[in-house]
Structure 1
Amino acid sequence: MGIVLSFDDKKPAEPDLSALLALTSDDMGRVNELILSKAASHVEMIPEIANHLIASGGKRLRPMLTLASAQMFGYEGGGHVKLATSVEFMHTATLLHDDVVDESDMRRGKKAARMLWGNQASVLVGDFLLGQAFRMMVDVGSLEALRILSDAASIIAEGEVLQLSAAKNMETTEDEYLAVIKAKTAALFSAAAEVGPVISGADRADQAALRSYGINLGLAFQLIDDALDYGGSASALGKNVGDDFREGKITLPVVLSYRRGTAEDRAFWTRCMERGENEDAELQEAIALLRKHNAIEDTVERARHYGAVARDALAPLADNEHKSALLDVISFCIARAY
């Protein structure tokens, strides 16, 4: 059982995604239709596996960023819908691959696809979705958007390998861990936000602003996820509390607690994370150590820092409802820790 984070002295006024949802509602309807269309195949297992994850309740935050950032600069074509769908397919493919690599049993509160159809099918359907994503990028006809998203795909794969090389290594530093999540998570947030102004013909400064916004939002988002794994609820996470611990994932709270701990504390982390002794009793001790060394709270503080950088990235842009909605996303992501 996790411990819900509480920072009552700093608690914001319940931010949500209502403004972003309202602005992107019509376009998201088109995205959802395109998702169903492009996930179809005469190979029966492909739509079964794809729809299992696609329909499992994700917020679709990344494609909404693409839609909102295109609208923000007056885009009037249909390319943003295809790019938003591409972004969602890239994200879904990453989840399918991640669950195989991490040997995860659950995803968004349901059995992971690999538990129902096996590892091979999960990886191959992820590859199919990536192929469909690149087809749609080509259809849009923007070489710059294609470059941005293809670069992101390569960076995400590099992040996966980097994480694998650092897996179960308690000597992982904070800088090394941040490099992993910058590649694995933040790269797609960044690309999703940047392609909107690109296809809208916005100037380079505006594109750079959305790119910086996206990458810092992605870092904040992942760090809050890391904190929630030890101090949140299953409903907030979309997975079981403590899954990162059971899988031996070295996340920032663990890095901080290990480095701040006594020799005895470090021996505990080494035994649990490197040797796999990570049952429920050990989870409770892990949470106690994280709290003792303020590792969860300081992970949230790191997330607040990156959220502030994301806010500053948008500061030079003209005030409008789209900018306001994108700022709300930052507040929403951070507030998940409460």
Structure 2
Amino acid sequence: MSAPSQNETKKPEASIQPLIDLVQSDMDRVNDLILSKAGSDVEMIPEVAKHLIDSGGKRLRPMLTLASAGMCGYGTNATDEAVDGHIKLAMSVEFMHTATLLHDDVVDESGMRRGKLSARMLWGNQASVLVGDFLLGQAFRVMVEVGSLRALEVLSSAACIIAEGEVLQLSVAQNMQTSVEDYMKVIRSKTAALFASACEVGPILAGSNEAKIEALRTYGLELGNAFQLIDDALDYGGSAAALGKNVGDDFREGKITLPIILANERGSKEDKAFWKRVMQDRKDVTDGALDYAMGLLKETNALEDTLKQARQHGSDAIRALDVFEDSAYKSALVDAVEFCISRAH
């Protein structure tokens, strides 16, 4: 992956640590609740859930729920644990995310998840799907406990949108006629929708005005778009440590992502034939073909332009926070965007 130009370079200190520090005490409560609600008398359920829950994810989405609630004043003056709506919704968001990972790995036939064998490789596809369903059920049970009908509506709508995105991805998978517009719709549904909802329920709990609710929803949506586009680029120019999976997995699985769409659109007749053969027809998918594909991505500036789009979405996310006064929470949310973008450097 080519180095960013000087005017595109993010500040080197971009870090998610300020966000982690701000919500640490609440995240401890979220983690306790996660462990409690992942329990079951059916032995395989906590085994599978614990495998993924303990696999090293940063839990960015629940941290965003906590930070968005805190920035709007919810729970910041509590002296006891009676105020726990943000804790429960943060846990619900993480369970929704974990469930989608379990389901995704089955659909994508993935062998690795966050640097470890995926649950489907250890327990099989059936267990992965059913444990994912259990986690979704638990998420909605806890949402109901919070008592906010609007927050429940936001997260339940997100669950439907994510499922629609999964089906849409199936319909565009291994189809070299997929347009940029179609692919961005997949991203908005599969990834950005949960980011958006995770941020939106915070100000809803806090009773914030509509401008703040919409601002944080937009922030989450644009951060989610940026996050996924960075992942798409990293698959062809990152590291297994940064990705939590093997570099080139998207290529090997035939996932048509934005870099591939751009390279195909800009390529010669011979290039288009190559992309159709390996991505659509799934022929000659070798390490040599991956190397050749990465050469085409570089020649057509497909990776760099994917990164540019990610940076634009990141800028839009930061701009959405303009309605809020400066605070430690606002600064941490800005840093979170810059951290996500900086993964590509």
Q: Same fold (TM over 0.5)?
A: yes
Residue pair 1:114, 1:122 contacting (<8 A) in 2 also: yes
- How has the CA–CA distance of structure 1 residues 276 and 85 changed in structure 2, closer, same or farther, with 3 Å as cutoff? same
C-alpha displacement at 1:328, in angstroms? 0.6
Q: How does 1:255-274 map to 2 (within 5 A)?
A: 255-274=261-280
Q: Corresponding residue for 1:226?
A: 232
- How has the CA–CA distance of structure 1 residues 5 and 56 changed in structure 2, closer, same or farther, with 3 Å as cutoff? farther
What amino acid is aligned across from residue 274 of structure 2 in structure 1?
F
**Unaligned 5+ runs, structure 1:** none
Aligned pair 1:106/2:106, yes or no? no
Deviations 1:239-296 (A, max 9, x none): 0000000000000000000000001001000111112132211100000000000000
What amino acid is aligned across from residue 323 of structure 1 in structure 2?
K
Deviations 1:21-48 (A, max 9, x none): 1110000001111110000000000000
Candidates 5, 9, 12, aligned match of 1:11? 9
C-alpha displacement at 1:5, in angstroms? 4.5
Aligned pair 1:71/2:70, yes or no? yes
**Unaligned 5+ runs, structure 2:** 76-82
What amino acid is aligned across from residue 123 of structure 2 in structure 1?
W
Percent of aligned positions that are identical: 64
Q: Corresponding residue for 1:326?
A: 333
Q: Which structure 1 residue ranges, 4+ long, deviate > 4 Å from structure 2?
A: none
Q: Corresponding residue for 1:22?
A: 21
Residue pair 1:221, 1:303 contacting (<8 A) in 2 also: yes
Deviations 1:162-198 (A, max 9, x none): 0001110000000000000000000000000000000
Candidates 297, 308, 311, aligned match of 1:304? 311
Q: Corresponding residue for 1:37?
A: 36
C-alpha displacement at 1:18, in angstroms? 1.2
Aligned pair 1:337/2:344, yes or no? yes
Cα distance between partner residues in 2 of 1:5 and 1:72: 37
Aligned pair 1:289/2:296, yes or no? yes
Candidates 210, 217, 235, aligned match of 1:211? 217
- How has the CA–CA distance of structure 1 residues 182 and 163 changed in structure 2, closer, same or farther, with 3 Å as cutoff? same
Q: How does 1:119-268 map to 2 (within 5 A)?
A: 119-268=125-274
Cα distance between partner residues in 2 of 1:279 and 1:55: 33
Q: Corresponding residue for 1:115?
A: 121
Deviations 1:53-100 (A, max 9, x none): 010000100000000000111112211000000000000000000000
What amino acid is aligned across from residue 168 of structure 1 in structure 2?
Q
What amino acid is aligned across from residue 304 of structure 2 in structure 1?
E
Give the RMSD, CA atoms, in angstroms: 0.8
Q: Corresponding residue for 1:53?
A: 52
Cα distance between partner residues in 2 of 1:107 and 1:244: 13
Q: Number of matched residues?
A: 335
C-alpha displacement at 1:8, in angstroms? 5.1
Q: More displaced, 5-14 or 174-183?
A: 5-14
Could you say what secondary structure the match of 1:58 adopts?
A: coil
Q: Corresponding residue for 2:322?
A: 315
What amino acid is aligned across from residue 238 of structure 2 in structure 1?
G
Residue pair 1:5, 1:337 contacting (<8 A) in 2 also: no
Q: More displaced, 311-320 or 35-44?
A: 311-320
Q: More displaced, 311-320 or 215-224?
A: 311-320
Cα distance between partner residues in 2 of 1:5 and 1:104: 28
Cα distance between partner residues in 1 of 2:123 and 2:287: 28
C-alpha displacement at 1:312, in angstroms? 1.2
Q: Corresponding residue for 2:78?
A: none
Cα distance between partner residues in 1 of 2:207 and 2:143: 16
Could you say what secondary structure the match of 2:323 adopts?
A: coil
Could you say what secondary structure the match of 1:152 adopts?
A: helix
Q: Corresponding residue for 2:86?
A: 80
